[in-house]
Amino acid sequence: MEKVRVLVVDDSALVRKLLSTMLACDPAIEVVGTAADPYIAREKIKQLEPDVLTLDVEMPRMDGITFLENLMRLRPTPVVMVSSLTQEGADVTLRALEQGAVDFFPKPTSDLASTFASGAEEICAKVKAAARARPRQRTAVQRLDVPPRLSADAVLPRVQAAGSRGGSPIIALGASTGGTEAIRVVLEAMPPDAPPIVITQHIPAAFSGPFAARMDHCSAMRVCEAHDGQPIQQGHAYIAPGGQHLLVMWDGARHVCRLHDGPQVNRHKPSVDVLFRSMAASAGRATVAALLTGMGDDGARGLLELKQAGARTLVQDEESSVVWGMPGAAWKLGAADDMLPLDQIARRLLALAHQPIGSAAA
């Protein structure tokens, strides 16, 4: 079995040691080297030819963003950013994703050893997904043993589909790895009076607020982090807060956002399956949903439930996805009516939303 070769780049000797030890525990990963700054990293990339880099943001002599820009221009390599859980760290990490980083792992500001240890499964999975995001195919790698995972039943039981309460369309999006950029592409193409959009992106709590603010700057729609009880309105997009599930509920007069602090579903919180199941129950045929790039299969069963409830559904195609896990799983389940490249998804969502509810997809 070919191992994923990783170079760890961080100016902290402690972080380099902790990350290296954690990654080396996975039999499918080999840490081929470490580097204390981008100049050392540049030489080691030439010597060692790693498959994936973990990259710190704040480093001496050259910051991580500048190094990432140079790397993507001269020698594109999958990168997982390691960024502090602060407002500034979140903003910089989102910029890194715009520059081509595949994913990120939040670096704690204290108690590094125990926090890194608890995130070992997550960082290993992110590194292996980043390796698979390369254009060339890689040998399948062995997964770590993981705890049992819960379905959407743990948060919201499946109920009879709602038909089309409210009569107005709502767009629902789900994404994970590569999703922050995919969501940006979709939102940038939306007009200011677009139907309301609800979004679940797998993201830590410290990053969801800055992500929503960043999307608000680049979209003609008003984009915000969802709040409990918030009415869902035309021209607005609502992003699930990290660490809480986002549900859409009918309160008797209108659709509203509901936040749920339940267990992880498919090992994620927020979970796309939870959002999609709530949409099937509360909006049914009035829903237009898309599952975008992401590792794993969260959202695949929820998209199928939406389709069975009469919603119009689609997925991002493999070529334009960073990782075709979630959309690929949904496509194999028969959960999507259509599969499109990312740059066509916004136009298709709008066209479907403007069709009479219950009509066949064109």
Residue 140: predicted pLDDT: 37
**How far is Cα 256 from Cα 188, in angstroms, rounded to an integer?**
24
In single-letter form, the type of residue at position 181 comes to: E
For 117, 124, 170, 242, 308, the CA distances from 311, given in Å and listed in that order, are 42, 36, 10, 26, 7
At residue 148, the pLDDT reads 56
Marked catalytic residue, from 37, 202, 282, 320: 202
pLDDT of amino acid 136? 33
Distance, in Å, from the CA atom of 5 to the CA atom of 127, rounded to the nearest integer, reads: 10
Residue spans per domain, the chain: 4-132, 153-354
Give 135's contacts (C-beta < 8 A, 6+ positions apart): none
157 close to 273: Cβ distance less than 8 angstroms: no
Report residue 320 as tokens: 């334009």
245 is known as an active-site residue: no
15-56 pLDDT, tens digit per residue, is 999 999 999 999 999 999 999 999 999 999 999 999 999 998
**Using CA atoms, how far apart are residues 3 and 5, in angstroms rounded to an integer?**
6
Q: Tokens at residue 232, please?
A: 């869902």
> What is the rounded CA–CA span in Å between residue 245 and residue 265?
9
How high is the pLDDT of residue 29?
Answer: 97
Name the DSSP class of 31.
E
Q: Nearest-CA neighbor of 167 among 362, 353, 360, 361? A: 353
Provide the 10 A C-beta neighbour count for residue 317. Answer: 19
| 56, 103, 297, 298: the active-site residue | 298
Please give the single-letter amino acid code of residue 95: R
- What is the structure's pLDDT at 217? 95
Looking at residue 134, what is its pLDDT? 52
Closest to 91 in 3D by CA, of 113, 64, 67, 121: 64
**pLDDT tens digits, the chain, 362 residues: what are they?**
689 999 999 999 999 999 999 999 999 999 999 999 999 999 999 999 999 999 988 787 888 888 998 898 888 899 999 877 666 677 888 888 888 899 988 877 667 777 677 788 889 999 998 988 753 333 333 333 444 567 778 777 777 655 566 679 999 999 999 999 999 999 999 999 999 999 999 998 889 999 999 999 999 999 999 999 999 999 999 999 999 999 999 998 999 999 999 999 998 999 999 999 999 999 999 999 999 999 899 999 999 999 999 999 999 999 999 889 999 999 999 999 999 999 999 999 999 999 987 655 44
Beta-sheet strand order (sheet of 338-340): 222-225, 236-239, 197-201, 170-175, 287-291, 312-316, 338-340
Q: What is the CATH number of domain 4-132?
A: 3.40.50.2300
pTM (two decimals): 0.79
Give the tokens for residue 259.
């936040």
Domains 4-132 and 153-354 share a fold: yes
Helix (H, G, I), strand (E, B) or coil at 271: coil
- Residue in 265, 225, 275, 231 with CA at minimum distance from that of residue 250: 231
Catalogue the E-assigned strands of the chain: 4-9, 29-35, 52-56, 79-84, 103-107, 170-175, 197-201, 222-225, 236-239, 245-250, 255-260, 287-291, 312-316, 338-340
Beta-bridge partner residues of 338: 314
Q: Give me 156's structure tokens.
A: 């919201």
Q: Please tell me the predicted confidence (pLDDT) of residue 141.
A: 36
Cβ–Cβ under 8 Å, residues 190 and 220: yes
* Residue tagged active-site, from 20, 84, 164, 176: 176
Rounded alpha-carbon distances, angstroms, from residue 59 to 133, 186, 276: 26, 33, 40
Q: Which amino acid is at 276?
A: F
> What is the pLDDT, as a whole number, of residue 359?
58
Q: So what's the pLDDT on residue 73?
A: 86
Distance, CA of 357 to CA of 166 (rounded, Å):
11
Q: What local confidence, expressed as pLDDT, does residue 116 receive?
A: 72
Asked if 223 and 187 touch (Cβ cutoff 8 Å), the reply is: yes
Domain formed by 153-354, architecture: 3-Layer(aba) Sandwich (3.40)
**Nearest residue to 204 via CA among 148, 268, 266:** 268
What pLDDT, on a 0 to 100 scale, did the predictor assign at position 164? 60
